[in-house]
Amino acid sequence: MIAQAPGWALGVALLAAVSGIPLRRVLQRLSYRAESESGAEHPGSRWWVPPVLGGLGWLLVTRVGQEATLTAPAQAVLLITLLLVAFGCVALAAIDLDVHRLPDRLLAPCGGVLLTGLSLVSLLGAGAGPWWRALLCALASGIFYLLLASLSLARGSVAVGLGDVKLSLLLGAALGWFGVGNTVVGVYAGFVAGGVMALALLFTRQVSLRGHVAYGPPMMAGALVGIMLPAGSVASLF
């Protein structure tokens, strides 16, 4: 089992951090920018990408190792799936922080990888229950964020956009695999992280009261909180 393999967490963390070096270089080329965004300020070196991926690698190994009911092959597939999705999410976060947009050409592959990986884990012994729960939680999260986006648009704001709605489907599925309670906590934590981020940007005068804050990164941070919580710690809520 992954939890019993010494050095797994450190090895995966180092590998994830190293994989962030080429990702950082790709992001620096700014090839994702639309023509209307080409004049925007350069986003910087993205120095944080490798260490963030390293930290995610460590955390995900720890969390997957807690799934004691899964066989070793199922744990390995789940870990690889989550790591690939995390890699895509870091790229999406970097882009969203730069141009406040979550490109479909990254969201769609991440969704495909997650769906395929969770399906394989189900076939390797996890059963159909977690798979269906992940699907239902994805739909519930997507509908919730679609309502938020509609309300935001009705008020003449773009605080929550369609990119956030699509991202909520991805994050909802990942959270739902671990539990309904994890999903609720993850979504709520995303709101808290978004509020903290907005206050920090206002305090440092990097954004005005009417400015737009990239909401994708806080959503991802909240999802990580929800995923890291053992199912038993939130089961009492449901």
Whether 5 and 120 map to the same domain: the answer is yes
Percent of the residues in the chain that have a pLDDT greater than 90, as a whole number:
61
* 8 A C-beta contact, residue 226 and residue 175: yes
Whether 101 and 140 map to the same domain: the answer is no
Whether 11 and 69 map to the same domain: the answer is yes
Whether 229 and 175 map to the same domain: the answer is yes
Whether 121 and 4 map to the same domain: the answer is yes
The reported pLDDT for the residue numbered 113 is 98
Please state the three-class secondary structure of the chain as a single string. CHHHCCCHHHHHHHHHHHHHHHHHHHHHCCCCCCHHHCCCCCCCCCCCHHHHHHHHHHHHHHHHHCCCCCCHHHHHHHHHHHHHHHHHHHHHHHHHHHHCCCCHHHHHHHHHHHHHHHHHHHHHHHCHHHHHHHHHHHHHHHHHHHHHHHHHHHCCCCCCCHHHHHHHHHHHHHHHHHCHHHHHHHHHHHHHHHHHHHHHHHHCCCCCCCCCCCCHHHHHHHHHHHHHCCHHHHHHHC
Whether 164 and 236 map to the same domain: the answer is yes
Whether 78 and 160 map to the same domain: the answer is no
Whether 66 and 135 map to the same domain: the answer is no
Domain-ending residue, one of 91, 126, 161: 126
36 vs 68, higher pLDDT? 68
Domain-ending residue, one of 74, 91, 126: 126
Whether 188 and 121 map to the same domain: the answer is no
Whether 153 and 185 map to the same domain: the answer is yes
Domain-ending residue, one of 126, 154, 170: 126
Identify the domain containing residue 54 by its residue range: 1-126
Task: Grade residue 236 by pLDDT with cuts at 50, 70 and 90.
Answer: very low
Q: How far apart, in whole angstroms, are the C-alpha atoms of residue 74 and residue 72?
A: 5
The reported pLDDT for the residue numbered 20 is 94
Whether 142 and 121 map to the same domain: the answer is no
Q: How far apart, in whole angstroms, are the C-alpha atoms of residue 147 and residue 152?
A: 8
Whether 2 and 119 map to the same domain: the answer is yes
Per-residue pLDDT reduced to its tens digit, 109-144: 999 999 999 999 999 989 999 999 999 999 999 999
Average pLDDT, the chain: 87
The reported pLDDT for the residue numbered 233 is 64
Domain count, the chain: 2
The predicted model gives 28-36 an average pLDDT of 73
C-alpha closest to that of 66 among 233, 236, 238? 233
